[in-house]
């Protein structure tokens, strides 16, 4: 047995770095806090790699099964004999994989930001928040129990809020950060209810106990039902609402596009690679429970994922803001992951969907972070987010161009880039389980290729722009992460992922299913060539199509008016209809009775003040009266007993 | 009896040694300007030594008992006294204290010796001795600013009330002796059967302790004394003296008077309700911060009683834990108030309007202290209250819990008043920037660290729980 207690440093180091950057405020030189941030995340990354190496290759496996290891544990609050909250570190294939993903992307973003955020006021604040986020995210994946996960879940939400609103002088940034916080917080309420419900019926928060396939929850689930569904389905469904909020699943996705108001590296880290997949991670974490106890809830997961994948991809085809396109593509890809989980079974070949989902999470993190950082590099050069302001950039920014192209090919699912392998597994899993979901996924794959290459051609090819200042390639510090991530996007697809991560911890051999892969590649290529035909050179074809589609295009462009629907519902129905009457009740009934109570309290307070007269004789009189009063009270009490 | 047995009472011996050393220094030096530093250094060493693990044992024929829970209680008191000493530097260095600085520390440490003896007492005589060692010098401390009428008034009121209370208590003890024929705790407790005479004795005896903890209606001396005494002394009263009395209270209730549990539970119930409510009602209208803290500390004592009424182990543990947190919270609040009142002699809540603009750090400390007293997470006070409440809930006293919750809400209101004054209210002439002296700063830092950390240290609570099984 190896000693895993050093894992705790993976949490402590970024937290200390957060304190170091945050506490002195502006007194510290901002470059110092940046350097400390980078150094600390570098050491976290090294620790994570060591952990991954020794877990996957040295001692994680016993009898061919990857074990669930409690690296450290600490009882925080003990509610009752059975129910307690622990703070600890749980190592299993998915958490170790997430450690690698988070620390890698976070390291890249830390380095990249050094140059991207250079000269910003609030540079130190930025690094403080980044460290806080990294700490919370690592704590989330290492959580040994639902409650710990919930705590870090909220911390992640807070740091995301802080980073989206980083430019707090911009009203749109403030609005976006509030929107993100409120929407996810609303979803988290469902999560909390789910946790409480589950804990009430199972008396535990612990993941290992809950997901044990021989444990009481799975072999002997609670029979209670509520409104036609079992309470456990309710609980798991509510927990999924939390996950859907963080992962921007329809209809809780509305915050993610606006969250692009934050600095671009932040979008790469939080809103593409790590935080938004927390929902996927949560479902994967509780997967055996979903599958064996609450299959209905898992069905919801699958369809929510499939619908979101399609919905977001359609919207992505119509957007003009480079970061928003990427945001919708993120939603679409996360929809993929959810879908894959939803169609998965448990154990052996049946668990293909689970493996595929985690595999896609992993590869997606690499190429999506690359896309965002590349977009950041472009924005850095042309000082605009709109693809209308860009064009022909391949001449000015060769390295950004090549790396961006690699990422686009990866997300479009063209072999041999990473996205192909993971997407193929998802398609296979969907094909075996549910033909409808498969056709959605298949269609979305082509759509993805189209909108990504629409973006690519508009930005790097297309018409010649008259730039004020000729754009130039970004500095080396920004290029370096791009190159590293591009290498990762090329190579990670070849990792035999099933060897490491599978639903039951046993090795799962995977091979490419060419009968599904070939049509998918063909479809993706169609998408790419269509995009090329429209956007490589400046033609009227695209506007013609747009005009021909007319209302449909406008619909999609306006994101199907969902924001407006929400606004209408909150403003007209909730605020005016419900809230106003409640407010009246609150003001005139509740407040008034509280005021009355306060008046009475004040009245007594006034009256009673007289007793504090200042004369010692009176005090002793009270003393004696009190003693004797108590004696009488006890005797009376005994008598009535 | 073995010479090594004396090591069991090292807390008392070390403190006595400290008193003697300071006495000698006082005699042989003419200048007492460094008295506070001597006291702090010596006491710091004693505090550290207190944490050396010790054994369980009884000496002097069961007159003196020690075990790890009692040692923990003494250590908690030591930490509190250390903070008080750190805070005393500013006040004691004032010129009007010249020539009586050593005396102050002599007297203060003597009272602590008395409290330690009370905690370790194994017999009522020993207990009474400890009580008197603790109370008479306390009155002297209250009157320490003797040129100030209010201070001398506080001293007189204290000594008169204390004398009365001692008399009643002694009467209770004598009745107990009459029914049992012995004064040893271990011999009395099996003989307690709940006859009327014993109940009378118990109530008179408990009144004396209730007086020390300032439970309603035995609390009337508190506000006058707290207001009149020098602020350092007030914080000593409200934290150390009260904490020690609470410790003794739970020890006695759960050992000697264990058989009377069905009688004393309703008493505690009644006292808890009265103390919380009346303390709150008084605190609601106070303008003077010292008086305000005095009344709020009465209400806090009511909350402490909640833990006593709960089941034995968790109840006891939650009380000890709460007292530890209470020490940090109250001393943080008193620390700031005393710094401000020594420097500017401003004490009302209105004076604190706009305090944050000029003294951001001090206002943050005061805010944390008040938050903790009010029980707002994530400050330690929240966890303290949480465990008290859950101990009441597990004992099934839901009505009591309800009353306590209402009182906690009311207290929230008045604890936030000073916070509002500091941070929100506008003021053209706020208190100017205050440079507090280094020892006072250290004290505040200890308090803040304690406030932020004790809540999260679940181990601490588990440790205390495990100790309370031993008693």
- The Cα–Cα gap between A394 and A460 comes to 5
The set of residues, in sequence order, having a beta carbon less than 8 Å from that of B48 and lying 6+ positions away, is none
User: Is B161 in contact with A623 (Cβ distance < 8 A)?
Assistant: yes
Q: Which of A348, A278, A280 is nearest to A136 (CA)?
A: A278
Q: State the pLDDT at residue A31.
A: 79
Closest Cβ–Cβ partner in A75, A602, A611 for B458: A75
Percentage of residues in chain A with pLDDT exceeding 90? Answer: 4
Q: If you average pLDDT over every residue of chain A, what do you get? A: 82
Q: How far is CA A299 from CA A217, A233, A437, in A?
A: 20, 11, 11
Q: Could you please report the per-residue DSSP string of A444-456?
A: HHHHHHHHHHHHH
Interface of A with B in 62-91 (CB under 8 A): 74-80
**pLDDT grade for B82, boundaries at 50, 70 and 90:** very high
Pairing of β A229-230 and β A225-226: antiparallel
- Which residues partner with A370 through β-bridges? none
Closest Cβ–Cβ partner in B156, B199, B207 for A623: B207
**pLDDT grade for A468, boundaries at 50, 70 and 90:** low
- The Cα–Cα gap between A417 and A31 comes to 37
Quote the minimal CA–CA distance from A84 to chain B in Å: 11
- Cα-to-chain-centroid distance, residue A624: 65
Directed axis angle between helix A278-285 and helix A352-382, to 10°? Answer: 170
The answer to whether B35 touches B98, Cβ cutoff 8 Å, is: no
> What backbone phi and psi angles, to 5 degrees, belong to A548?
-60, -40
Residues of A with CB below 8 A from B383's CB? 77
- The Cα–Cα gap between A461 and A454 comes to 10
The answer to whether A23 contacts chain B (CB < 8 Å) is: no
> What backbone phi and psi angles, to 5 degrees, belong to A84?
-145, 160
Taking the complete model, does pTM exceed 0.95, yes or no?
Answer: no
Three-class secondary structure of residue A66 per DSSP: strand
**Per-residue pLDDT tens digits for A87-138:** 888 888 888 889 999 999 999 899 888 888 887 788 888 888 889 999 999 9
Q: If you average pLDDT over every residue of chain B, what do you get? A: 87
Q: State the pLDDT at residue A342.
A: 87
User: Is A631 in contact with B200 (Cβ distance < 8 A)?
Assistant: yes
Q: State the pLDDT at residue A544.
A: 65
> What backbone phi and psi angles, to 5 degrees, belong to A502?
-150, 170
**Per-residue pLDDT tens digits for B202-254:** 999 999 999 999 898 888 888 888 888 888 898 899 899 999 999 999 889 88
Q: What is the mean pLDDT of residues B349-373?
A: 88
Closest Cβ–Cβ partner in A609, A616, A630 for B267: A630
**Per-residue pLDDT tens digits for A435-462:** 888 888 888 888 888 888 888 888 887 7
Closest Cβ–Cβ partner in B161, B282, B284 for A619: B161
- The Cα–Cα gap between A579 and A566 comes to 16
Quote the minimal CA–CA distance from A155 to chain B in Å: 14
Name the least confident of A387-401, B327-341, B416-430, B439-453. A387-401
**pLDDT grade for B272, boundaries at 50, 70 and 90:** very high
Q: Which of A89, A52, A92 is nearest to A68 (CA)?
A: A92
**Per-residue pLDDT tens digits for B37-76:** 888 999 999 999 888 887 788 888 888 988 888 999 999 9
Q: What is the mean pLDDT of residues A70-80?
A: 77
* CA torsion, ordered B365, B370, B372, B373, to nearest 10 deg: 140
**Per-residue pLDDT tens digits for A320-329:** 888 888 888 9
Say if residue A475 is exposed, middle or buried (CB neighbours under 10 Å; 0-12, 13-18, 19+).
Answer: middle
**Per-residue pLDDT tens digits for B103-150:** 899 999 999 999 999 999 989 999 999 999 998 999 999 998 888 888
Mutate to test the interface with A, among B169, B284, B286 (most CBs of A within 10 A): B284
The set of residues, in sequence order, having a beta carbon less than 8 Å from that of B357 and lying 6+ positions away, is B430
Please report the sign of the dihedral spanned by the C-alpha atoms of residue A51, residue A52, residue A58, residue A63: positive
Q: Which tokens hold the place of A416?
A: 């041999």
- pLDDT over 70 (residue B201): yes
- The Cα–Cα gap between A489 and A496 comes to 15
Query: Averaging pLDDT over each range in A164-168, A225-229, A429-433, B160-164, which range is the top one?
Result: B160-164
Q: State the pLDDT at residue A466.
A: 67
Q: Which tokens hold the place of A317?
A: 């085809």
- pLDDT over 70 (residue A559): no
- pLDDT over 60 (residue A1): no
Q: State the pLDDT at residue B119.
A: 93
Query: Averaging pLDDT over each range in A74-83, A395-404, B11-20, which range is the top one?
Result: B11-20
Quote the minimal CA–CA distance from B2 to chain A in Å: 42
All structural domains of chain B with their residue ranges: 3-468
DSSP state of A498: G
Q: State the pLDDT at residue B10.
A: 87
Q: State the pLDDT at residue A25.
A: 66
Quote the minimal CA–CA distance from B197 to chain A in Å: 10
> What backbone phi and psi angles, to 5 degrees, belong to B470?
-80, -10
**pLDDT grade for A510, boundaries at 50, 70 and 90:** confident
User: Is B459 in contact with A74 (Cβ distance < 8 A)?
Assistant: yes
- The Cα–Cα gap between A509 and B98 comes to 86
Three-class secondary structure of residue A81 per DSSP: coil
**Per-residue pLDDT tens digits for B145-184:** 888 888 888 899 999 999 999 999 999 999 999 998 899 9
Angle at CA of residue A111, ends A109 and A116, nearest 5°: 80
- pLDDT over 60 (residue B471): no
User: Is B281 in contact with A78 (Cβ distance < 8 A)?
Assistant: no
Q: State the pLDDT at residue A26.
A: 67
**pLDDT grade for A546, boundaries at 50, 70 and 90:** low
Percentage of residues in chain B with pLDDT exceeding 90? Answer: 30
Q: Which tokens hold the place of A98?
A: 């997430």
Interface size between A and B, measured as CB pairs under 8 A: 92
Q: Which tokens hold the place of A297?
A: 């809830």
Q: Which of B309, B461, B335, B313 is nearest to B392 (CA)?
A: B309
**pLDDT grade for A494, boundaries at 50, 70 and 90:** confident
User: Is B266 in contact with A633 (Cβ distance < 8 A)?
Assistant: yes
Helix (H) or strand (E) holding A217: helix A216-219
User: Is A623 in contact with B211 (Cβ distance < 8 A)?
Assistant: yes
């Amino acid at each position: 047995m190896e000693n895993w207690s050093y894992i705790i440093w993976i949490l402590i180091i970024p937290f200390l770095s957060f304190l170091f950057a945050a506490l002195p405020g502006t007194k510290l030189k901002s470059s110092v806090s940046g350097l400390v941030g980078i150094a600390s995340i570098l050491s976290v990354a090294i620790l994570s790699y060591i952990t991954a190496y020794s877990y996957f290759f040295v001692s994680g496996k016993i009898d061919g099964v990857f074990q669930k290891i409690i690296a450290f544990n600490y009882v925080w609050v003990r509610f009752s004999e059975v129910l307690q909250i622990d703070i600890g570190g749980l190592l299993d294939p998915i958490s170790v994989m997430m450690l690698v993903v988070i620390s890698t992307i976070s390291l890249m973003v830390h380095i990249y930001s050094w140059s991207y955020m250079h000269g910003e006021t609030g540079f130190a604040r930025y690094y403080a928040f980044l460290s806080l986020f990294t700490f919370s995210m690592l704590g989330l994946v290492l959580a040994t129990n639902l409650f710990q996960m919930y705590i870090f879940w909220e911390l992640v939400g807070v740091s995301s809020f802080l980073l989206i609103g980083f430019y707090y002088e911009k009203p749109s940034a403030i609005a976006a950060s509030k929107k993100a916080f409120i929407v996810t917080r609303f979803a988290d309420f469902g999560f909390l209810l789910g946790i409480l419900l589950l804990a009430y019926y199972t008396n535990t928060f612990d993941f290992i106990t809950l997901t044990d396939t021989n444990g009481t929850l799975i072999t002997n689930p609670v029979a209670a039902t509520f409104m036609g569904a079992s309470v456990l389905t309710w609980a798991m469904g509510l927990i999924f609402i939390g996950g859907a909020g963080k992962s921007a699943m329809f209809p809780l996705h509305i915050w993610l596009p606006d969250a692009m108001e934050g600095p671009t590296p932040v979008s790469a880290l939080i809103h593409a690679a790590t935080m938004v997949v927390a929902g996927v991670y949560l479902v994967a974490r509780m997967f055996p429970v979903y599958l064996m106890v609450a299959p209905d809830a898992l069905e919801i997961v699958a369809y929510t994922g499939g619908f979101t994948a399609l919905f977001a991809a359609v919207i992505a085809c119509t957007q003009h803001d480079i970061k928003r396109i990427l945001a919708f593509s993120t939603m679409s890809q996360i929809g993929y992951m959810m879908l894959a989980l939803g169609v998965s079974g448990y154990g052996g070949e049946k668990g293909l969907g689970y493996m595929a989902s985690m595999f896609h999470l992993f590869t997606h993190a690499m190429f999506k972070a690359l896309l965002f950082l590349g977009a950041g590099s472009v924005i850095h050069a042309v000082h605009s987010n709109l693809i209308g302001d860009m064009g022909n950039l391949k001449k000015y920014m060769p390295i950004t161009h090549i790396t961006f192209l690699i990422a686009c090919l990866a997300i479009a699912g063209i072999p041999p880039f990473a996205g192909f392998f993971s997407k193929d597994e998802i398609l296979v899993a969907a094909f075996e389980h549910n033909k409808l979901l498969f056709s959605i996924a298949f269609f979305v794959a082509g759509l993805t290729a189209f909108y990504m290459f629409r973006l690519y051609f508009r930005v790097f090819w297309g018409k010649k722009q008259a730039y004020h200042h000729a754009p130039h390639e970004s500095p080396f510090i920004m290029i370096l992460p791009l190159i590293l991530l591009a290498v990762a996007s090329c190579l990670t697809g070849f990792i035999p992922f099933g060897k490491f991560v599978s639903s039951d911890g046993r090795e799962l051999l995977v091979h490419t299913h060419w009968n599904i892969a070939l049509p998918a590649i063909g479809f993706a290529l169609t998408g790419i060539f269509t995009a090329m035909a429209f956007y490589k050179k400046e033609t009227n074809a695209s506007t013609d199509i747009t005009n021909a589609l007319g209302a449909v295009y406008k619909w999609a462009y306006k994101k199907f008016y969902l924001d407006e629907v929400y606004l209408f519902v909150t403003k007209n129905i909730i605020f005016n209809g419900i809230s106003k009457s409640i407010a009246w009740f609150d003001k005139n009934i509740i407040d008034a009775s509280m005021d009355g109570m306060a008046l009475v309290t004040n009245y007594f307070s006034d009256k009673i003040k007289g007793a504090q007269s200042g004369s010692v004789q009176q005090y002793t009189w009270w003393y004696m009266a009190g003693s004797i009063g108590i004696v009488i009270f006890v005797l009376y009490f005994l008598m009535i007993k | 009896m073995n010479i090594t047995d004396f090591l069991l009472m090292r807390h008392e011996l070390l403190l006595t040694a400290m008193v003697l050393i300071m006495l000698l220094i006082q005699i042989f030096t003419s200048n007492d300007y460094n008295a506070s530093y001597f006291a702090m250094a010596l006491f710091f060493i004693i505090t550290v030594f207190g944490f050396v693990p010790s054994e369980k044992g009884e000496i002097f024929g069961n007159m003196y008992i020690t075990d790890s829970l009692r040692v923990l209680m003494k250590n908690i008191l030591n930490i509190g006294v250390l903070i008080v000493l750190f805070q005393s530097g500013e006040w004691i260095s004032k010129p009007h204290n010249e020539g009586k600085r050593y005396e102050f520390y002599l007297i203060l440490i003597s009272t602590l010796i008395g409290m330690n003896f009370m905690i370790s007492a194994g017999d009522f005589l020993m207990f009474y001795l400890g009580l008197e060692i603790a109370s008479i010098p306390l009155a002297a401390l209250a009157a320490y600013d003797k040129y100030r009428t209010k201070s001398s008034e506080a001293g007189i009121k204290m000594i008169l009330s204390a004398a009365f209370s001692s008399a009643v208590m002694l009467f209770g003890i004598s009745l107990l002796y009459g029914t049992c024929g012995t004064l040893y705790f271990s011999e009395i407790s099996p003989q307690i059967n709940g006859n009327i005479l014993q109940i009378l004795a118990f109530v008179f005896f408990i009144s004396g302790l209730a007086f020390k903890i300032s439970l309603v209606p035995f609390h009337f001396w508190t506000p006058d004394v707290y207001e009149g005494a020098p602020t350092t002394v007030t914080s000593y009263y409200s934290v150390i003296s009260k904490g020690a009395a609470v410790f003794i209270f739970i020890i006695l209730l759960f050992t000697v008077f264990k058989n009377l549990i069905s009688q004393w539970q309703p008493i505690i119930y009644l006292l808890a309700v009265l103390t919380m409510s009346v303390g709150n009602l008084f605190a609601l209208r106070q303008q003077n911060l010292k008086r305000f803290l005095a009344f709020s500390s009465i209400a806090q004592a009511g909350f402490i009683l909640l833990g006593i009424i709960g089941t034995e182990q968790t109840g006891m543990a939650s009380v000890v834990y709460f007292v530890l947190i209470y020490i940090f919270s109250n001393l943080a609040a008193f620390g700031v108030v005393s710094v401000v009142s020594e420097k500017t002699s401003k004490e009302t809540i209105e004076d604190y309007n706009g305090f944050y603009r000029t003294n951001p750090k001090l206002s943050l400390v005061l805010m944390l202290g008040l938050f903790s007293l009010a029980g707002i997470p994530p400050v330690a006070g929240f966890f303290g209250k949480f465990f008290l409440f859950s101990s009441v809930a597990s004992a099934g006293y839901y009505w009591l819990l309800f009353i306590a919750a209402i009182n906690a809400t009311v207290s929230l209101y008045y604890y936030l008043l000073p916070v509002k004054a500091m941070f929100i209210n506008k003021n053209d002439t706020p208190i100017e920037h205050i440079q507090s002296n280094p020892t006072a700063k250290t004290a505040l830092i200890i308090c803040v660290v304690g406030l932020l950390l004790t809540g999260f240290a679940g181990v601490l609570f588990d440790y205390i729980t495990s100790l309370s099984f031993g008693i």
